[in-house]
Structure 1
Amino acid sequence: MTQKLSRVISSEYNGFQVEHALLKLALKLIEQVQKDTHLMEMPPSSIAVKLTSGSTWKYLWQAQFDKLELKIPLSDPRFKLPSWIVNEPGSYTDHQKIYWIGCILRAAVLGGADCTGTRWKKSNTVTYSGLRSSWYKRRMGMLHSPEALIGEYATVSQWTSELLMHCLQWPGFESSYIRNQVIANIENLNDLKHCIQNRLKQLEELVCQTSNLPTIPSEIYRPEQTRNTFRIVTVQQLQPTSELFKLHGARLESKEARAIHREHLAAICKLTLRTLEAKVKAEESPSKPYCDLIVFPEVSVHPDDEDLLKRLADKTNAIIFAGYVFQDKDDKLVNLARWLIPTYKDGSRQWVIRDQGKEHMTKLENKMGVTPHRPCQHIFEVHGHGEATFKMTGAICYDATDIKLTADLRDKTDLFIVAAYNTDVKTFDNMAAALQWHMYQHVVICNIGEFGGSTIQAPYKQQHEKVISHVHGAGQISINMADIDPHAFTRVTKTYKETKAPPAGFNR
């Protein structure tokens, strides 16, 4: 099957927005320009893509590319090589080829002909969002973050951002912004090819095979800690109640609902901060109230109240995983949970924002017209805690009951987090008790206070150590705190709590 590249990337379901497919396109572009340069400086509208037999456009991230070919050469100044790149008369240098490949890749992930644009949304927060003038000026100062390229449902990682940053360098670019040394050391096409091949191999090893889901790994750099533990807080709030949704609709947009919801969330954030302050005081520590991860329930935060979460994260240095009330996505109602991740460099704080979608709907959600939307599974590799990195991921309520997903994630993560809004507390209690051993890692479930049942569990051998925290009883506000050892079940030398033997087939 042959199709114009411009048509594929401008379609509603642009498969090149998934990192796996984008890197496969990059390898095909490298292969093509190494053989001949007839595609050089051509826009996507001049390039035809052919998939191998058995591959489909629907699952482009799984597809294999047969060939790229030139279709009706067109001139587009946005894909012409700028004068600042090292050149040689009569031939294209590797630096020029790498720049052009970067242009095609950026256009593909953006889904349009202008490779210099962004999808950055306007916000009340003043922040750098790239140059907004003509494409000619935007080439010097392009913003490559996943949020700018795709949005909060980012299906590419910071790794892709750094690759584009390296390919599309402009005069005066500071290479210290690239953390990945392999990318920073790319000097020619062969270096670029080997770098992409290694990354693609890593991505393919992380694919959730049984649930047919691409996994996007992202590296998170936390402030270095002297302790090995990872502090988690589960926030069991009361609002929004099921009655509030019945009265004011799935989006909770009425003035009455917004007033009730925001006031309650503000009080809960204040209570969370006071709880952490009490912990610090009890430990007689001079540090500020510190936390590593704060988890809120499913559909518990309105997007207009995100500022409250960010202020809480700033005061505690915490990563936040919170379920957001139902939102519109491409004119469809969806359920999502948002990761708000503060990152620190050179004394400044930036936000990494990722939305985790939900695939499996409950009967009530089906009645409300909520549509499944889970483009990928995010896994975060956390640096700065103890002797090694560890990996965490999250799911929304009913998705956690999918045994295919949890089986896929078992050998890939060290911490599984579930944001829930669940009436069947007993079932989720049993699920947590089962998953903590079958996945062989810490399992965190944060439920709404209307129903209760928030818990943190881990497969330690001693019965009293398995349940780290658990809140029973309906109609309760509860701020639960626990310091966990994220390396407890992957550490070779067991020097801490005694753990159970791993389940059969555990490969980490």
Structure 2
Amino acid sequence: MSALPASVLEAKLKLGIIQTSLDPFAAWAASSAIPKISQCEEERAITEIRAHFAAFHQEKPPPDIIVLPELAVPTGFEGKLKTMAAKMESVVIAGFDYRADVQPGHVHNDALMIVPKRWRGKTIGAKTIARRIGKTYPAPAEKAKLDAIPCSFVEDPAVWLIDGGAIGTFGVMVCYDFLDLERITMYRGRVQHLFILALNQDATSFRHVAEAVARMVFCNVIICNCGYFGGSLAVSPYRLPEHRTIYNHAGAKLATSQIIELPVGDLSLHQSKSPTNDDGKTFKSLPPGYTFSVELFEHSAKIEK
């Protein structure tokens, strides 16, 4: 659970979701030694990101966290995005374009978590810092495209657990890693939020997985997908079906941004089975094995001899 007691967590996390409209079929030039966003798509991406941040600047107080999709931000824009995060006083978690490895012909697919020196109204550090959160598993289509260049994907086996203080503990995954059952199990009972940065054509399947993970890990699940395919959403394990989908943006080739609020304090109290004001009527029951587990034994049998 969060490093802070559930009783002192904030009621809500204020989240900004930016869904850019980068065209994945036109963005990466096959002739490059390593994949790199084309000049045209890079300029469009930067224009959209600036516009969405400008819109968020009108919000007082600003979002606690802002998320952008997988591979959405050109590598050359890193310094400017850090400046924008510092000016906004928001943590930014963004998918960046492929990063060249020290070994020629090898690339990383990273998210960058930017933490400004001032956040949520107070100074938390001497300067703005950034941490890379790498992708472990390339999607089959992604691997095939990289192999065709040819270029090798560098796997990052780390699983990040991030203490957000009063807004809860959260994990960050890059697209295909969301389907890794071992990773999902590691987050169970330890987070209030899971952020997935995606560039995923099958948005429907990810929506179904998000709904299942929200119930089994028992946390808020947020998918920020590329706007070319759409399907960004946020779900929470509320008891009433009409409350579970907090945000859902469907439709292809659309750039959009939205600020939403996610439950934190009451969710954490429910996770810890502490008393709540509504006697457990807000959220679903905790899943089996969440608070205690029974040792299971494997049995095998044959129908026929």
Instruction: Identify the residue that residue 423 of structure 1 maps to in structure 2.
Output: 201
Instruction: Identify the residue that residue 343 of structure 1 maps to in structure 2.
Output: 117
Choose which of 28, 39, 48 in structure 2 pairs with 1:267. 48
**Which structure: larger Rg?**
1
Gapped regions of structure 2 (runs ≥ 5): 293-305
Please show how residues 273-312 of structure 1 align to structure 2 within 5 Å.
273-275=54-56, 277=58, 280=59, 287=60, 289-312=61-84
Instruction: Identify the residue that residue 131 of structure 2 maps to in structure 1.
Output: 354
Q: Quick check: 1:297–1:323 contact (8 Å CA) kept in 2?
A: yes
Q: Distance in 1 between matches of 2:90 and 2:22?
A: 22
* Structure 1 residues 241 and 328: CA distance shift in structure 2, 3 A: same
Q: Distance in 1 between matches of 2:197 and 2:188?
A: 18
Higher helix share: 1
Q: State yes or no: 1:440 paired with 2:218.
A: yes
CA offset digits 1:372-423 (Å, max 9, x no partner) = 42142221111244xxxx2111011000001111011112211111000001
Choose which of 362, 365, 383 in structure 1 pairs with 2:142. 365
Please show how residues 162-201 of structure 1 align to structure 2 within 5 Å.
none
The total of aligned residue pairs comes to: 272
CA offset digits 1:408-455 (Å, max 9, x no partner) = 111221111100000111110111111110110000100001100000
Q: Distance in 1 between matches of 2:110 and 2:124?
A: 31
Q: Quick check: 1:269–1:308 contact (8 Å CA) kept in 2?
A: no
How far the C-alpha of 1:273 sits from its partner, in A, is: 2.9
Cα RMSD (Å): 2.8
How far the C-alpha of 1:314 sits from its partner, in A, is: 2.2
Instruction: Identify the residue that residue 243 of structure 1 maps to in structure 2.
Output: 26
Q: Quick check: 2:117–2:124 contact (8 Å CA) kept in 1?
A: no
How far the C-alpha of 1:248 sits from its partner, in A, is: 6.4
Please show how residues 36-435 of structure 1 align to structure 2 within 5 Å.
228-246=11-29, 249=32, 251-252=35-36, 257-258=38-39, 260-275=41-56, 277=58, 280=59, 287=60, 289-331=61-103, 332-344=106-118, 350-367=127-144, 368=146, 369-385=151-167, 390-435=168-213
Q: Distance in 1 between matches of 2:209 and 2:53?
A: 27
Q: Quick check: 2:20–2:227 contact (8 Å CA) kept in 1?
A: yes
Q: Larger RCO: Structure 1 or Structure 2 (Cα < 8 Å, ≥ 6 residues apart)? A: 2
Equivalent position SS for 1:413: coil
Q: Distance in 1 between matches of 2:10 and 2:91?
A: 17
Q: Quick check: 1:266–1:308 contact (8 Å CA) kept in 2?
A: no
CA offset digits 1:270-292 (Å, max 9, x no partner) = 22331451xx4xxxxxx4x5111
CA offset digits 1:1-42 (Å, max 9, x no partner) = xxxxxxxxxxxxxxxxxxxxxxxxxxxxxxxxxxxxxxxxxx
Q: Distance in 2 between matches of 1:227 and 1:375?
A: 32
Choose which of 247, 258, 261 in structure 2 pairs with 1:480. 258
Letter in 2 for 1:378: W
TM (norm. structure 1) is 0.50
How far the C-alpha of 1:259 sits from its partner, in A, is: 5.1
How far the C-alpha of 1:315 sits from its partner, in A, is: 3.0
Letter in 1 for 2:112: R
Q: Distance in 1 between matches of 2:125 and 2:180?
A: 40
Q: Quick check: 1:420–1:448 contact (8 Å CA) kept in 2?
A: yes
* Structure 1 residues 384 and 343: CA distance shift in structure 2, 3 A: farther
Q: Distance in 1 between matches of 2:29 and 2:23?
A: 10
Instruction: Identify the residue that residue 84 of structure 1 maps to in structure 2.
Output: none
